[in-house]
Amino acid sequence: MSASMNGVTSEKYQLTVSPDFPAKRMSSWFIFNTWLQKALGMPIHLELYPDFDSQRAAISADKVDIIYANPYDAAMLVREKGFVSVARPAGKCDECIVAVAAGSGAQVVEDLKPICRVARTDDPGVNLVGMILLEPASLGHDNTQILTVESYPLVAKALMRGEAEVGFFLAEAFDELSSLVRHQLRPLVHSQISDFSHVLLLGSRLAERREEVTRVLLDMPAEAKGQDVLAELGFAAWERVTQEDTEFMIDLMDTLKA
């Protein structure tokens, strides 16, 4: 999947997006990519990878210049690949919801039993927090059965079909499920960390344009086209993220991993 525009320079940059974005936003990122190319006056190719493994392979091969990254991968991008932070969606935090089927007998996490089946995607940050939220039931990797699926709607389907007792959701993805699906699920617990968020990062080839990229993103609400693109993404605005902000988030993520 790609989008590109010819520019005055022969050098083309690649933009990618963390694979955990809602499927209905796919066209929105193409619209954003077209807008960003015009705003910066340079050719940018949008590549949407089907999973985290293929995206990380591209990152390792230095193919990615701009990425809307989840908090977990931000640690690797900043500390191992030298990416710099630019902005994040204003007022949006990455939280995890642990949910069960509406008819489940579990009313609280502590009601879950050992060897229960856990449906989840391969989103590492959500899975990390989800497993922490299961700790009050004395559940961990050694006494749960993990069912990994490709998307959050498939996590919901696994719960509704009785293929798993509990499921992990990015809270935003849970909220964007259809009302029909949500009514067949019941959240048990919702994380309240508030310090995690997706963040837009720039690789080394674009690091010197950091302030320019930040400025055009922060100025989006000031013009009609920018407002339209933000609405497509489901954002109210972007807000500046300093390198110190990102380092704090990474340190917190490392603490949770320990």
- What are the start and end residues of each CATH 3.40.190.10 domain in the chain? 2-92+195-257, 96-190
pLDDT of residue 1: 42
- Superfamily designation of domain 96-190: Periplasmic binding protein-like II (3.40.190.10)
How would DSSP label each residue in 19-77? TTS-GGGHHHHHHHHHHHHHHHTS-EEEE--SSHHHHHHHHHTT--SEEEE-HHHHHHH
pLDDT of residue 258: 67
Cβ distance 29 to 46 under 8 Å?
yes
Architecture of domain 2-92+195-257: 3-Layer(aba) Sandwich (3.40)
Q: Which amino acid is at 159?
A: L
Biggest distance spanned by C-alpha atoms of the chain: 62
Residues of the chain short of pLDDT 70, as ranges, are: 1-10, 258
pLDDT tens-digit map of 189-238: 999 888 888 999 999 999 999 999 999 999 999 999 999 999 999 999 99
What is the pTM for the complete model shown? Answer: 0.82
Cβ distance 135 to 94 under 8 Å?
no
163 burial type by CB count under 10 A (0-12 exposed, 13-18 middle, 19+ buried): middle
